[in-house]
Structure formats: C-alpha cells, structure tokens
C-alpha cells in the first residue's frame, strides 16, 4: 500500500506526496533525496517496510542513531513543522481538522466535532507541491540539537533543542512508575526509563520496529506529557551491519543487553574486521557492543564478472563490485 505524507504547516503547507521508495534520505543537504527548504536539521531516513510500521531514523552529531516510530494519520510536530503519514487511497480529513486534533492533544483537550467539520481537501491542497524536488518521493522532517541529541515528545511529537527548551514541564501524572509499567507490559527489558530535567526519557534497544511502534502508541495513551523516546531497532541495526559487511556467509543477531553477535565465514577477514570497527564507532553509545565468531572462508570465489592475470598479478572482480588483487607464486 502506497503511503502519503501531508505537510500541514511551513512553506510547503498543503503539499501531498506519495512515497514509493521503502527508504528515503530526507533533509536539507544536497545529498538528500528530498530537500526540505525550511528545515535546518541534518538528514534522516524515513523507512516504510510495507508491513504497516513506519519510522524515522536520525544520526546525531555524536554518531548515535535514533529511531522515531510514526503512526498513521497521527500528526507529529518538529519545530514549526507539523506533518502526518497515511495510506494514499484513504479518505483524509481536511488539514484544519488534522491540526485541530494535533493541538487538542497537545493541550490535553478534546477536539469539538462542531468546531471544524471534515471537508474535502481544497484545490490548493491537491496542487500544493511548489518548491519540491523529486515530488515522486515522500518528505519528512528532522531536527537535532546543537549538542547532537534528538528530542522526540511522544505526546506532542515535538523535537526540542535541549531539555530546558521545553515549553511545558512534565505534569504530575507523567510519573516514572507509569512509564516503566508501560515498558514492562511489552517485556522490553533492554530499555531504561530515567528522568532528565523536566522530561522522562525512554532509552535503549527494542527488537523490532513493530514493538517500537507499540511502545509509542502505549505511551501516547498515558495521561502524561514530556515523555521522550530514544530507542534503536535491533532488526534494522542487524540489517545495516549485514549490508555493510557484504559477506554472504555472515549472520547477525541481537542477543540482548544491547549486544549483537556476528558469526560465520568470511572471504576477506581484514575488510570485515575494519568494517566492524566502523560499525562500533557509528553506534557508539547506542549499543553495548558486537561479539564476533568468524572464520576464514575456504569457498572459492563465485559470481566473478571479470578476471585478469598479467605479470604475476591476478585481478578478480565479483558481480557485487568487490575487487581483489593477489600475487601469483613464480
């Protein structure tokens, strides 16, 4: 099912864009697939695996990845931008209704059905795509603080520059015990809940994106404000490690307590070791570590697309782009 993103505020307010790619680089840099002209944050990745879950992945300045689960047709706010995602073939409320629902939840009041009746999108909403690059791709927005931390309010979806920038203190009902009970109810044992300044922070590793989404949904049901989620999805990290290593004989698994395990036979041990070190740097502070149990592969090279043997030097290029050089014994 194709997902649509609707931008409710900002320069591109009224824009409606269908998302066809499962992963899209989003941000204001020249390297982003979709550029956001009025958002100052670094690039992020919007992921839609097609199973109903969806999330935004950010990388802070310190290299720590952050995962923000998103819910269908639930507006979220980052700075001055409010947007939401949903199926493109569904009947959508008007932008004004979505905004009313969002700000009603922010201020803890029920939206009145008579204040803003649902209406069909205006022509401006259908055509409001001016100033966009690659309109066939979806757009999302991200922000990081100057210190490199991402702040995501589960209740109001607001990204904050720092704890002291919060416009609302944590309410009396946003108790530490209530949030811990929500985490425990889902058996997410690798998450911690701590109070930081005026906010409660849920941090750690969850096995799947579905569980992260379930936690976000459960926290949103609490009569609480100022709850931040800073979690990473183990399944996505494992997939990223496998893709980076580029070794077909390797398996990556999450073993709990923030630890991952990489096992199997590899063709190029030096390259694998170097890339694992890179992963450790990229995820420093977000995961506890990576255990390895690797052996050198004795399987001959397959899927060779090019080979050259000249003056005692052998060159082999595999179909995945891997290039190998070796000296032949004379």
Beta bridge partners of 235: none
Residue-wise pLDDT for 132-158, tens only, equals 333 222 222 222 222 222 223 333 333
H helix count then E strand count, the chain: 6, 18
List, as one string, the DSSP characters of 94-139: PHHHHHHHHHHHHTT-PPPTTTS---PPPHHHHH--TT-SSTTS--
Section 85-102 average pLDDT: 81
- pLDDT > 60? residue 201: yes
Q: Extract the tokens encoding 72.
A: 């269908």
Q: At what angle do helices 209-220 and 176-185 cross, to 10 degrees?
A: 140
Contacts of residue 18, Cβ cutoff 8 Å, sequence gap at least 6 = 2, 3, 4, 88, 136, 138
Residue 205, pLDDT above cutoff 80 = yes
For residue 86, what pLDDT is reported?
A: 83
Listed residue (288, 282, 290) closest to 59, CA to CA: 282
The reported pLDDT for the residue numbered 107 is 65
Domain boundaries, the chain: 3-233, 302-330
pLDDT at position 284: 76
Q: What DSSP designation does 91 have?
A: P
- Residue 193, phi then psi, degrees to nearest 5: -125, 125
d(CA 59, CA 271): 24
Please list the residues that pair with 250 across neighbouring strands: 264
Whether pLDDT at 291 is above 90: yes
- Strand 250-256 relative to strand 227-233, pairing: unpaired
Q: Quick: pLDDT tens for 30-85.
A: 666 666 666 667 777 778 877 778 887 876 666 777 788 888 888 877 767 777 88
The better pLDDT of the pair 26, 114 is held by: 26
pTM above the 0.75 mark?
Answer: no
Q: Which residues contact 207 (CB under 8 A, 6 or more apart)?
A: 233, 234, 235, 254
β-pairing, 16-19 vs 3-7, is antiparallel
E strand or H helix that includes residue 272: helix 269-282
Q: What fold does the segment set 3-233 form as a domain?
A: Tumour Suppressor Smad4 (2.60.200)
């Amino acid at each position: 099912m194709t997902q649509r993103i609707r931008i409710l505020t900002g320069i591109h307010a009224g824009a409606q864009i269908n998302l066809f790619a499962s992963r899209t680089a989003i941000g204001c840099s020249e390297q982003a697939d979709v550029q956001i002209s009025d958002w100052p944050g670094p690039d992020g990745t919007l992921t839609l695996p097609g199973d109903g879950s969806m999330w935004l992945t950010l990388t802070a300045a310190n290299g720590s990845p952050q995962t923000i689960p998103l819910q269908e047709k639930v507006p979220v706010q980052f700075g001055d931008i409010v947007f939401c995602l949903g199926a493109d073939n569904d009947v959508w409320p008007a932008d004004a209704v979505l905004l009313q629902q969002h700000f009603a939840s922010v201020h803890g009041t029920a939206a009145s059905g008579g204040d803003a009746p649902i209406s069909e999108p205006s022509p401006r909403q259908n055509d409001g795509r001016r100033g966009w690059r690659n309109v066939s791709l979806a757009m999302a927005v991200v922000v990081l603080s100057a210190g490199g931390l991402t702040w995501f309010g589960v209740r109001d979806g607001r990204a904050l520059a720092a704890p002291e920038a919060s416009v609302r203190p944590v309410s009396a009902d946003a108790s530490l015990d209530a949030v811990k009970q929500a985490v425990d109810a889902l058996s997410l044992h690798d998450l911690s809940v701590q109070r930081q300044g005026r906010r409660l922070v849920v941090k750690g590793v969850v096995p799947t994106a579905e569980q992260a989404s379930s936690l976000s949904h459960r926290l949103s049901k609490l009569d609480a404000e100022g709850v931040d989620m800073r979690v990473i999805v183990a399944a996505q990290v494992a997939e990223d490690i496998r893709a980076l290593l580029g070794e077909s004989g390797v398996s990556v698994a999450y073993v709990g307590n923030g630890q991952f395990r990489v096992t199997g036979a590899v063709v190029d041990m030096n390259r694998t070791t170097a890339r694992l070190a890179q992963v450790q740097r990229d995820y420093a502070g977000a995961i506890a570590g990576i255990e390895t149990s690797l052996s050198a592969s004795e399987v001959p090279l397959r899927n060779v697309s090019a080979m050259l043997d000249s003056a005692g030097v052998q060159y082999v290029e595999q179909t995945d782009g891997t290039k190998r050089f070796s000296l032949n014994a004379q």
